């Protein structure tokens, strides 16, 4: 079970990282195209006019994918920010109660958000909503990645809730305290 869950978080994070790489590659291709045109213009040649179609929209979609697929990894890596001031001031027993409380609230919120994000994606699919650009992309695809990322986020929060209830330290605590590495 542990292996399956870690594999899930890892795979989601790799997808997020791949999405960032694709943004960089597409945008850089567009810039190179413009540089080539500028050089052509210097020699009095007509511009080649290389264009990555619908780049702005695609980059926006990839950003959504990258951000939501990274949720679980960023939670477990301790990158998600929270106020630890109150926790630090609490006695041990109360801190454990607070930890369980925020994990319950977090998991419930993530599950709730997942449900409505999935609904948004299903509605877009049902009404066949497309993006406006030259390349019409069905909106349900990036929206499905938003929902998927939220689902994995909810699982990661439940994972840590189970750990907290069993009296084990949550995954993010290891990196949160010595967060100098992370941020």
Partner 1 sequence: MDLLTISLTLGGLLLVLLAAGLWVALALMVAGLAAIFLMVPVPPGAVMATTVWGSINSWDLAALPMFIWMGEILFRTRLAEDMFAGLAPWMRRLPGRLLHVNILGCAIFAAVSGSSAATTATIGRMSLPELRKRGYDERMAIGSLAGSGTLGLLIPPSIILIVYGAATEQSIARLFIAGVIPGMMLAALFMGYTAVWSMINRKRMPEADPRIPYLQRIWQTRRLFPILALIVGVIGSIYGGFASPTEAAVVGVVLSLVLSWFTGTLSRATFVDALRNASRTSCMIVLILAGASVLTVAMGYTGIPRALAQFIAEQGYSPYALLAVLTLFFVVLGCFLDGISIVVLTASVILPMVEAAGLDIIWFGIYLVIVVEMSQITPPVGFNLFVIQGLTGHNILKVAGMTLPFFLMMIVAVALIVLFPQLALWLPQTMLAR
Nearest one of 156, 171, 137 to 64, comparing CA atoms: 137
Tell me how far, at minimum, the Cβ of 45 lies from partner 1, in Å: 19
Burial code (b: 16+ CB inside 10 Å, e: under 16) for 161-181 equals bebbeeeeebbbeebbeeeee
Check: CB of residue 148 under 8 Å from CB of residue 68: yes
Judged by CB under 8 A, which stretch of 1-9, 16-24, 40-48, 160-168 contacts partner 1?
16-24
Q: Which of 41, 47, 50, 84 binds partner 1 (CB under 8 A)?
A: 84
Q: How many residues does the chain have?
A: 183
3-state secondary structure of 157: helix
Residue 24 found at the interface with partner 1 (CB under 8 A)? yes
Of 2, 42, 88, 91, the one binding partner 1 (CB under 8 A) is 88
CB of 37 to partner 1, least distance (A): 11
- CA-CA distance, 174 to 78, in Å (whole number)? 8
Q: Which residues are at the interface with partner 1 (CB under 8 A)?
A: 13, 16-17, 20-21, 23-24, 27-28, 30-31, 34, 55-57, 59-64, 66-68, 70-71, 73-75, 77, 79-88, 98-99, 101-102, 105-106, 109-110, 112-113, 115-117, 119-120, 142-143, 146, 177-180, 182-183
């Amino acid at each position: 079970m542990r292996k399956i869950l870690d594999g899930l978080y890892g795979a989601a994070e790799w997808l997020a990282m791949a999405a960032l790489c694709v943004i960089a590659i597409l945008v850089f291709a567009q810039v190179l195209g413009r540089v080539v045109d500028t050089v052509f213009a210097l020699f009095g040649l007509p511009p080649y006019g290389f264009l990555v179609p619908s780049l702005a929209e695609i980059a926006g979609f990839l950003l959504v994918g990258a951000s939501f697929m990274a949720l679980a990894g960023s939670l477990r890596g301790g990158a998600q920010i929270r106020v630890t001031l109150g926790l630090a001031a609490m006695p041990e027993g109360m801190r454990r109660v607070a930890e369980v409380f925020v994990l319950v609230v977090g998991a419930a919120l993530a599950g709730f958000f997942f449900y409505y994000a999935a609904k948004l994606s299903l509605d877009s699919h049902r009404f066949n909503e497309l993006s406006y650009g030259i390349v019409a992309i069905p909106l349900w695809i990036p929206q499905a990645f938003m929902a998927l990322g939220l689902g994995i986020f909810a699982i990661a929060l439940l994972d840590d809730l189970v750990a907290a209830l069993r009296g084990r330290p949550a995954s993010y605590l290891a990196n949160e305290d010595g967060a100098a590495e992370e941020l």
